[in-house]
Amino acid sequence: MILTHDLLQICARQVFRQRRRNLGVLLAVALGTASLIAILTLGDEVKRNVNRDLNLLGGATLIKVSFTNSQDPSLPPMFFPPQAVDKIRALPNVDSASLGTEKIDYVPLFWRMKQLGIPVSGVDDQFWRVASLTAVQGVLFGAQDMAAQSRVCVIGEDLASTLFGEESPIGQYLPIYADVYKIVGVVGGMQIGDRKKAAFVPLTTIANRSKGDMRGDRLIVRCDALDNVGLVSASLPILLSNFCDARYLKLEISWLQLERVSSIIWWVQLFVGISITATLTLGGFGILNGMMSSVAARTREIGLKKAMGAEERDIMFQFLLESIILSLSAAVIGTIIGCIAVQVGALYLAVRPSLLLMLVYCGISLVFSVGLGVAAGYYPALRAARMDAVMAIRYE
């Protein structure tokens, strides 16, 4: 019986000698392994980024909560207390939640010889994150402005262009109601409705200085994933019933957009999965074909080894080990490529994937490659082991 150490050297040398013939197999398995590691490691981060930016696709992960009695003057107005918002933000599967005003007040403004009506909305500091909005000029007001009830405002791009043209609006003052608000930023991003023409002021400021009807009666909740919209929407009425009359709650969810986006993501994941599976399957068939060719080319060698006393299990183990070494070598190359791809992808997406998660997927890929080598090399190894020694020696 051949010693294990010697057998490993023989098999590795044999695989190296046939490197040109095995190049295609190596590339197929390596690329499949690299794709598997990169997609699995970055998959959660990519999905999180897609969910965060779904405002571009109709706000599929947003849940808008308001009161149905807002249109009935006979009923007293209802508002969401800050404690309820804090509880919602602490819910599992909730990315963020913003409290604002359902009512958009159109404030008349006589500006540079022009009569305008400016939509004014009260929002909190979480509104920018929930609505995926960014500042194209200046800054967006934050928690400190909310706490201090600062008289600051952020305006949309169209309003900035209408009021100031090419002049910078930052630091300018805008009269709203009976007060003057300092413009600290211009908001950009994919905006719908009148947002590009609107002025946004801190909710605490407008609630304190308006007539009392501009208070927090609208919630926008962003879920952390498409799959969790249903769970969060079911939890909200139960939670809010502790703070207000749940009979008057109204939840608005873009179910149609949610279904369409979920369908698109599912098909993309299916396509990627099929591509990786096909690549690895082709690599497996390549190993099978290569090992069958190797058995045919070394038929006399097999006969001589049997004539010299080699047992069937020795022959079978040798060819099986060659198949495993070939598959494992390709997987190691693919693992290195996959780790590089993860780092490049993380840099491009501005995320920090879990190192532990990447190592786990690398380990799974290497174990899978061993299984692929065993599955692809088993039949050729079995065929080599069952050859008749006399017929193998006479083989031309």
Residue percentage of the chain with pLDDT more than 90: 10
3-state helix, strand and coil shares in percent for the chain, rounded to the nearest 5: 60, 15, 25
pTM of the model: 0.65
Whether residue 182 has pLDDT greater than 90: yes
Q: Are residues 109 and 211 in the same domain?
A: yes
| The residue to which tokens 């998959």 are assigned | 43
> 357 and 246 share a domain?
no
**Domain-ending residue, one of 193, 227, 254:** 254
- My answer on whether 227 and 349 are in the same domain is no
- For residue 293, the enclosing domain spans 4-52+261-393
The answer to whether residues 184 and 139 touch, using CB atoms and an 8 Å cutoff, is yes
Task: Identify the domain boundary among 254, 269, 291.
Answer: 254
What pLDDT, on the 0 to 100 scale, is given for residue 152? 93
Q: Is a pLDDT exceeding 80 seen at residue 219?
A: yes
Does residue 192 sit in the same domain as residue 216? yes
Determine the Cα angle at 25 with ends 355 and 384, to 5°.
120
Whether residue 114 is predicted with pLDDT greater than 80 in this model: the reply is no
Q: Helix or strand or coil: residue 155?
A: strand
How far is 292 from 266, CA to CA, in rounded Å? 38
Instruction: Encode pLDDT of 356-385 as tens digits.
Output: 888 888 888 888 888 888 888 888 888 888
> pLDDT for 281-293, tens place per residue?
777 787 788 778 7
Q: Are residues 81 and 218 both part of a single domain?
A: yes
CA 224 to chain centroid, in Å, comes to 10
Task: Tell me phi and psi for residue 177, to 5 degrees.
Answer: 55, -130
Is residue 54 scored above 60 in pLDDT? no
Cα 280 to Cα 33: distance, rounded to the nearest angstrom: 8
Burial 155-167 (b: 16+ CB within 10 A, else e): bbbebbbbbbeee
Q: What is the mean pLDDT of residues 196-218?
A: 78
Count up the domains in the chain and report the number.
2
Instruction: Give the rounded percent of residues in the chain with a pLDDT score beyond 70.
Output: 83
Residue 14's pLDDT is: 66
Confidence of residue 30 (pLDDT cuts 50, 70, 90): confident
- Higher pLDDT residue, 291 or 56? 291
In terms of domains, do 116 and 184 share one? yes
Task: Kindly state whether residues 112 and 30 are assigned to the same domain.
Answer: no
Q: Is residue 174 located within the same domain as residue 310?
A: no
Neighbouring-strand partners of residue 188: 134
Q: Are residues 154 and 285 in the same domain?
A: no
pLDDT band at 300 (very low <50, low <70, confident <90, very high): confident
Mean pLDDT lowest for which of 219-223, 374-378, 386-390?
Answer: 386-390
pLDDT at 213 over 80: no
Cβ(96)–Cβ(61) below 8 Å = no
Q: b/e map of 257-268 (b: 16 or more CB within 10 Å)?
A: bbeebeeebeee
pLDDT interval class at 2 (50, 70, 90): low
Q: Are residues 217 and 333 in the same domain?
A: no
Last residue of a domain, one of 214, 229, 254: 254
Residue 186's pLDDT band (boundaries 50, 70, 90)? Answer: very high
Q: Is the per-residue pLDDT at 279 higher than 80?
A: no
- pLDDT mean over 39-60: 62
Same domain as 113, residue 66: yes
Q: Which of 132-146, 197-211, 252-266 has maximum average pLDDT?
A: 132-146
Convert the pLDDT of each residue in 136-156 to its tens digit.
899 999 999 998 989 999 998
Q: How confident is the model at residue 158 (pLDDT cuts 50, 70, 90)?
A: confident
Distance CA 117, CA 105 (A): 9
Give pLDDT, residue 185. Answer: 92
The pLDDT of residue 378 is: 86
Say if residue 90 is in the same domain as residue 219.
yes
Is the pLDDT score of 226 beyond 90? no
The mean pLDDT of 335-354, rounded to a whole number, is: 80
pLDDT recorded at residue 62: 87
Mean pLDDT score across all residues of the chain = 80
